[in-house]
Amino acid sequence: MTRVAIDPGAVAWPEPPGLVPAVVQDGADGRVLMLAWVDREALEATIATGDVHFHSRSRDRLWRKGETSGNVLHLVSIALDCDADALLVTVDPAGPTCHRGTRSCFDLAPGPTAAAAGTQGFAWLEQLWTTIAERAATRPAGSYTATLLDGGVDAAGRKVAEEATEVLMAAKDDAAAELHGDAQGRDAARAALGREAADLLFHTLVLLAERGVEPAAVLDVLRERHGRPRPPASP
């Protein structure tokens, strides 16, 4: 990915400790992910490595975001504000940004309240669809997505049917573990269910791409159905 950065010398660094605020946003949809502080060392490390670095005020040292969690922020671009004393850092995040496990530090903490507020991170699917659409247009050699698309409706359709079966099996394993009070087994089953559902979603999007149907058409159907009264049950 091409990175657009700035000259550290263009920043109006204040007197020591020489920190300026950095607003971090997701390059996929512009969602604000976090606010942190950057000094010249952190900015130079970010530009040099492509991984976003900050200055940790609590530890008074250079800090690569995700150095312990693995949830790094891959640099897309950096912009300087009109006064040259604040940064807008656009990133491609590798996992949740907040230490609480949420996509953004401005999301509610995980739990029923957060779920009710709709903080599931569905916006990231735009990035996935963009990648699939690019593969459909360019068909790069060695791309799994391109291989599926080259196989036509049957290749992608078979994977959707296969993954749907895997989702059902994982869900049944989770239900069985819950029934028997097997906490460890349920953790494994829950993880498997998430993986299989991810595979199903991905292959469904590939099948839509192969048929030239955009996900927006699917969302239109869901919106149209939302709130529609359910038909009466058959006697």
Is residue 121 a contact partner of residue 28, using CB atoms and an 8 Å limit? Answer: no
- pLDDT value at residue 211: 97
Domains of the chain: 8-93 (3.10.20.810), 121-225 (1.10.287.1080)
At 1, the pLDDT band (50, 70, 90 cuts) reads very low
Least confident stretch, 7-11, 125-129, 172-176, 213-217: 125-129
Residues 76-98 pLDDT 10s: 999 999 999 999 999 988 888 98
**H/E element holding 19?**
none
Enter the pTM of the model.
0.53
pLDDT in tens, 31-65: 899 999 999 999 999 999 999 999 999 989 999 99
Query: Does residue 2 carry a pLDDT above 50?
Result: no
- Are residues 97 and 73 in contact, defined by beta-carbon separation less than 8 angstroms? yes
Q: How far apart are CA 90 and CA 83, in angstroms?
A: 19
- How, if at all, do strands 20-26 and 87-93 pair? parallel
Q: DSSP state, 148?
A: H
Over its C-alpha atoms, the chain yields an Rg (Å, rounded) of 22
What is the chain's mean pLDDT, rounded? 88
Token couple for 28:
């996929």
Query: Beta-carbon neighbour count of residue 231 at 10 Å?
Result: 6
More confident residue, 122 or 153: 153
